[in-house]
C-alpha cells in the first residue's frame, strides 16, 4: 500500500513533483476511526449518497492536483490532502470501484525533460514498521526530510547543464534557466565528468522549529518562484539546496558526504548521522522535530548503504530508503453537530461536535468555533469536513473547512436576535441558556464554591429559580429537597451577605470597567450624582450605566441585595 500511495501521488504531481505524502506515516487512530465510520456507512447502505460524495470529492482532489501540478501552489496541506484521499478511497471501496485517481491531463505545450536517473520516491512508514526495517538492515544513515521541491541537477564536464523538476520520477520540467539565479547551486564543479545529483530546493529559514512553527508555507514559496512565467531579474538568496542522492557516486556514505561538501554541497555532511539502533532513530526524529533549523522538515529519512546500481533505480520503487513523518499537526474530521450557546452577555458562541480524533495524545470530540460571526465567516454546517489542530496552549481549534457539503442547509438563527446584554434577566423557556449563564457568573463573582452550572440549571428548570436573587430568599431555600448537596449550598449562601458591593455589581453585569466598579463601595452610590461624577465616566459609559439602572429586573435585584445588606447591619 505504501508503494501504491507513493505512486499515486507521484503521478498526480507529474510536472512539479514535490509532493510529500506520508500516507503510512500518519496511520494512527484518526485514520482508523475514519475507516470504521466509512465501513459502517457501507453496511448501512445509502449508496447513492456515497456515490455522490465520492464523485464530488474525487473531482475536488483532481482540481487541487491540477493547481498543485501546473501552478506550483498547494491549496491544501499535505496532511489534509492525504486524509481526504484516504477517505475518498474508502468511499470507492464501498462502491467496489478503483481507488486510484486518474492522472491530470497535461497541456500539450508542456516541454518535459527526462531524468538521467529516475527519482525513486520514499515509502512512508509507521513507527513499528520503521523499527522492523531498521532491524533487518546494516549501515543505516539518517537525515532530516527537508520540505521543499525535489530536483535533479546534471553536470557535464564540471558545468551545470540541467535542473529538472521531479515530475513523475521519469521526466519533469526543465528549470536550468532558473538555476542561474539560485546562488546556493554551483554552476561549475571541480569534478570533470558527468555527475547526476538529486536533492531538494528549500526556502531558507532562521532558527525554524518544526514542532512550533510548522511548514509555514515554505515549499509554496519555492514553487511560486520556480513557476513564475517571467525570468528572474536577480539572485534569490533565500533558496538553498540539500543533496540527498548521488546516483553512481561514492558507495561509502562518509566519503560521499565529504565529496559533496568539496563540490559545494555541504548540508548532507552536516545533517547525516550513522544509526546503530532503534533508540537513536527516535531520538534523532525528536531532535529534528524540536530543534532550530535553517529549513522546514516534515520527518526523517533512513537510508541503507550501499545503494543498488543506478540501472536498478525505478520510479516509486525504493527498498533502500524510507521516511518516518512527524506527528500530525492537523487532523481531518467531520462536523456531526453544531451547538449554539448563549452566554450571560447575550453573545452567541458555537461549539462543533466532531468525529473523535487524537492529536498529540489528546482525544478530541468538541471544538469551539467562536462567535456567531466567526461561524458565519467559516460557512460551516453539519457534515462539512474540517482540519483541527492544537493552539499553543493545547486548545483544539478549527483551522479550515476543507470540504463542504454540496447542499447547504443552515439552522434558523432568527431566535438569537433577541439576545443582548440586558436580555434574560429573569427566566423564561427561551432564556434558559443566558439566564443560567448569568447565575453561574454571579455565583463565581461572589466566590460561592461547589455550585456548578449544572446545579444552577437544575434549580432553574425544577425548583422555580426565576430571578437573579431568588436563591437569597429563605422560603426558596426551605423548599429545596433535603439532601447533602443542597444543605452545603445553603451554607454557602449565608456567606454572600459579607461580600463587598463591587463583587455584587460585577456579578450582576454592571456595564463598567473593573477599575470603575471597584470605586463603588456602596449601592447607594449608584444613585448619588456626586459619586458618579467622581468615577469620571465617558458619555458612552454613563449612557450604558443609566440604561442598566433603569432596567426593572436590575432594580429588583439591587433592592434584594440592599435588603440583605440591611439585615446584615441589624444583625451586627
Q: How many Cα atoms are found within 13 Å in the side-chain-facing hemisphere of 71?
A: 10
Q: Taking the alpha carbons of 152, 156, 160, 164 in that order, is the dihedral positive or negative?
A: negative
For residues 18 and 165, the answer to whether their CB atoms sit within 8 Å is yes
Q: Which of 123, 124, 145, 303 is catalytic?
A: 145
Distance (Å, whole) CA 451 – CA 440: 8
For residues 152 and 244, the answer to whether their CB atoms sit within 8 Å is no
Q: Taking the alpha carbons of 90, 95, 98, 104 in that order, is the dihedral positive or negative?
A: negative
- Bond prior to 306 in cis (omega within 30° of 0): yes
For residues 3 and 316, the answer to whether their CB atoms sit within 8 Å is yes
Diameter of the chain measured on Cα atoms: 104
Distance (Å, whole) CA 213 – CA 204: 14
Q: Where are the beta strands (DSSP E) in 292-416?
A: 292-293, 297-304, 321-325, 330-342, 348-359, 362-371, 385-390, 396-403
For residues 198 and 243, the answer to whether their CB atoms sit within 8 Å is yes
Q: Give residue 135's Cα distance to chain centre.
A: 34
Cell 481526504 belongs to residue: 84
CA angle 214, 215, 217 (to 5 degrees): 135
For residues 310 and 109, the answer to whether their CB atoms sit within 8 Å is no
The runs of H, that is alpha helices, within 13-126 are 29-44, 47-70, 78-95
Is there a catalytic annotation at residue 282?
no
* Phi then psi dihedrals of residue 99, to 5 deg: -100, 10
- The cell numbers describing 319, all together, are 527498498
For residues 338 and 382, the answer to whether their CB atoms sit within 8 Å is yes
For residues 295 and 205, the answer to whether their CB atoms sit within 8 Å is yes
Residues with catalytic function: 145
Amino acid at each position: 500500500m505504501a508503494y501504491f500511495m507513493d505512486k499515486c501521488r507521484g503521478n498526480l504531481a507529474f510536472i512539479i513533483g514535490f509532493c510529500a505524502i506520508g500516507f503510512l506515516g500518519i496511520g494512527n487512530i484518526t485514520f482508523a476511526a475514519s475507516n470504521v465510520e466509512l465501513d459502517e456507512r457501507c453496511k448501512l447502505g445509502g449508496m447513492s449518497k456515497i456515490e455522490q460524495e465520492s464523485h464530488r470529492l474525487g473531482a475536488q482532489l483532481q482540481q487541487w492536483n491540477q493547481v498543485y501540478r501546473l501552478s506550483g501552489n498547494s491549496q491544501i496541506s499535505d496532511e489534509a490532502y492525504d486524509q481526504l484521499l484516504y477517505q475518498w478511497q474508502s468511499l470507492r471501496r464501498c462502491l467496489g470501484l478503483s481507488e486510484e485517481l486518474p492522472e491530470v491531463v497535461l497541456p500539450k505545450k508542456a516541454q518535459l525533460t527526462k531524468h538521467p536517473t529516475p527519482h525513486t520516491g520514499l515509502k512512508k512508514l509507521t513507527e513499528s514498521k520503521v523499527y522492523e526495517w531498521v532491524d533487518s538492515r546494516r549501515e543505516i544513515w539518517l537525515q532530516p526530510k527537508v520540505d521543499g521541491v525535489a530536483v535533479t541537477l546534471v553536470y557535464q564536464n564540471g558545468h551545470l547543464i540541467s535542473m529538472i523538476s521531479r515530475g513523475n520520477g521519469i521526466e519533469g520540467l526543465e528549470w536550468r534557466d532558473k538555476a542561474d539565479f539560485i546562488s546556493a547551486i554551483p554552476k561549475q564543479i571541480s569534478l570533470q565528468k558527468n555527475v547526476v545529483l538529486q536533492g531538494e530546493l528549500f526556502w531558507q529559514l532562521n532558527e525554524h522549529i518544526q514542532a512550533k512553527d510548522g511548514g509555514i508555507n515554505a515549499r509554496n514559496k519555492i514553487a511560486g518562484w520556480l513557476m513564475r512565467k517571467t525570468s528572474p531579474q536577480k539572485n534569490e538568496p533565500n533558496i538553498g539546496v540539500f543533496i540527498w542522492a548521488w546516483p553512481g557516486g561514492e558507495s561509502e556514505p562518509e566519503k560521499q558526504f565529504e565529496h559533496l561538501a568539496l563540490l559545494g554541497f555541504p548540508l548532507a555532511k552536516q545533517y547525516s548521522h550513522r544509526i546503530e539502533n532503534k533508540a537513536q532513530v527516535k531520538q534523532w526524529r525528536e531532535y529534528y522535530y524540536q530543534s532550530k533549523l535553517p529549513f522546514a522538515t516534515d520527518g526523517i529519512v533512513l537510508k541503507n548503504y550501499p545503494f543498488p546500481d543506478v540501472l536498478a533505480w525505478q520510479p516509486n520503487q525504493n527498498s533502500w530508503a524510507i521516511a518516518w513523518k512527524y506527528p500530525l499537526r492537523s487532523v481531518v474530521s467531520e462536523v456531526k453537530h453544531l451547538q449554539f450557546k448563549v452566554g450571560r452577555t447575550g453573545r452567541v458562541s458555537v461549539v462543533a461536535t466532531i468525529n473523535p480524533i487524537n492529536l498529540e495524545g489528546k482525544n478530541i470530540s468538541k471544538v469551539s468555533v467562536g462567535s456567531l460571526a466567526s461561524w458565519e465567516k467559516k460557512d460551516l454546517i453539519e457534515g462539512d469536513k474540517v482540519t483541527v489542530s492544537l493552539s499553543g496552549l493545547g486548545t483544539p481549534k478549527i483551522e479550515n473547512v476543507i470540504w463542504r457539503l454540496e447542499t447547504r442547509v443552515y439552522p434558523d438563527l432568527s431566535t438569537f436576535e433577541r439576545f443582548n446584554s440586558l436580555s434574560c434577566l429573569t427566566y423564561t423557556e427561551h432564556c434558559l441558556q443566558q439566564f443560567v449563564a448569568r447565575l453561574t457568573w454571579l455565583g463565581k463573582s461572589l466566590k460561592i464554591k461547589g455550585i456548578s452550572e449544572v446545579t444552577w440549571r437544575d434549580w432553574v428548570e425544577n425548583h422555580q429559580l426565576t430571578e437573579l436573587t431568588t436563591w437569597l430568599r429563605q422560603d426558596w431555600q426551605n423548599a429545596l429537597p433535603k439532601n447533602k448537596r443542597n444543605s452545603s449550598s445553603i451554607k454557602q449562601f449565608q456567606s454572600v451577605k459579607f461580600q463587598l458591593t463591587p463583587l455584587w455589581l460585577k456579578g450582576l453585569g454592571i456595564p463598567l470597567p473593573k477599575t470603575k466598579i471597584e470605586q463603588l463601595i456602596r449601592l447607594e452610590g449608584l444613585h448619588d450624582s456626586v459619586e458618579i461624577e467622581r468615577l469620571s465616566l465617558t458619555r458612552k459609559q454613563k449612557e450604558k450605566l443609566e440604561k442598566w439602572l433603569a432596567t426593572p429586573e436590575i432594580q429588583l435585584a439591587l433592592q434584594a441585595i440592599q435588603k440583605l445588606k440591611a439585615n446584615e447591619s441589624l444583625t451586627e
